[in-house]
Amino acid sequence: MPRSAPHIPVLLDEVIAALAISPGETHIDGTFGAGGYTRAMLDAGAQVIAFDRDPDAIANGRKAAPVGLRLVEDRFSNMAAHIDAPVDGVTLDIGVSSMQLDQAARGFSFQADGPLDMRMEQSGESAADFLNTADEADIADVIYRYGDEPKSRRIARAIVAARPVSRTAELAAIVRRAVGWREGQKSDPATRTFQAIRIHINRELGELEDGLLAAEQVLKAGGRLAIVTFHSLEDRIVKRFLRDRSGQAPTGSRHLPDVAQRGPAPTFEAVAKAIRPGEHELARNPRARSATLRVARRTQSPSWPANMRGAA
């Protein structure tokens, strides 16, 4: 965790302010990455349990792990299995990290050619495995659902016709040809397809939903939850979860008495409206452009039953 780490945590000041850390508190950083949030939490006097599913991130963090930091190689959705007592804060920075994007060998980006991998955990089905074996309809569904790509069927047809596909540059070229894009035109369409496949391979939205439920379980009364998202699919899940868990979800029939529609007591209360990066943040960190921070405080109410996931 050298302080010279080149990756700038998004909305760092806002996240730390929202957590309102007091010395001696225990906080969870569910997405350790390069350790930016963790470092700031430690500097504020917290003990930190940091999770990451990427073995590279954990290995890099262990090279110079400071006192007060415990690193766990696991998904943040499993955080409850690794703690002995409720914690004072949980922070999640959702999506792919800059370190993963910047390494061509990981296959997350088409900015430099590399193997078509995209696995955060570096195990299981790779992007190449999926694209070379899945049905055309399944590929199209993934690209449409997670990439909001209106030409998903055309792209999926082109991918299947070009099999086997093994490199990021190959896939980017296939997508561009399928949609008739040429260099110099606005917004490279390969971006949406890469995002969609990455989300599918890593089960990112399901992991976020499970992570929110885990945070509800591990936070003590008064504990703070801070979540940074980077696109509307992620933010919608967080927004709906906090709406439901704070008792703000729309009720059912207006003809039924309120007592008949009342669910479990709210487990969260909003701390502030959604926070977005300002001009200074955007100038020093372009990655923050699409970021949204949502913050909530845990109430004293017990966690909802496991079968009540809410609208998330």
Tens-digit pLDDT profile for residues 96-106: 887 788 889 99
* pLDDT value of position 177: 96
Write out pLDDT tens, residues 13-56: 999 999 999 999 999 999 999 999 999 999 999 999 999 999 99
For residue 70 the two structure tokens come to 């415990």
Write out pLDDT tens, residues 119-167: 999 999 999 999 999 999 999 999 999 999 999 999 999 999 999 999 9
Write out pLDDT tens, residues 249-298: 766 555 555 544 567 999 999 998 999 999 988 888 887 889 999 999 99
- The Cα-based distances of 29 to 71, 72, 79, 104, 279 in angstroms read 9, 10, 10, 26, 26
Q: Is the pLDDT of residue 94 over 50?
A: yes
Average pLDDT for 169-191? 92
* pLDDT value of position 255: 56
- The Cα-based distances of 185 to 168, 179, 181, 193 in angstroms read 20, 12, 7, 17
* pLDDT value of position 182: 82
Q: Is the pLDDT of residue 6 over 60?
A: no
Lowest mean pLDDT among 183-187, 215-219, 248-252: 248-252
Q: Is the pLDDT of residue 1 over 70?
A: no
Q: Is the pLDDT of residue 238 over 80?
A: yes
Dump the DSSP string for the chain.
Answer: --TT--PPPTTHHHHHHHHT--TT-EEEES--TTSHHHHHHHHTT-EEEEEES-HHHHHHHHTTPPTTEEEEES-GGGGGGG-SS-EEEEEEE-S--HHHHH-GGG---SSS--BS---SSS-S--HHHHHHHS-HHHHHHHHHHHH--TTHHHHHHHHHHH-S--BHHHHHHHHHHHHT--TTSSS-THHHHHHHHHHHHHTHHHHHHHHHHHHHHHEEEEEEEEEEE-SHHHHHHHHHHHHHHTT-SPPS-TTS-HHHH--SPP-EEE-SS-B---HHHHHH-GGGGG-EEEEEEE-SSPPPPTT--TT-
* pLDDT value of position 308: 73
Distance CA 295, CA 274 (A): 8
Model pTM score: 0.91
Average pLDDT for 72-97? 96
- The Cα-based distances of 74 to 32, 53, 77 in angstroms read 11, 5, 8
Lowest mean pLDDT among 69-73, 102-106, 150-154, 209-213: 102-106
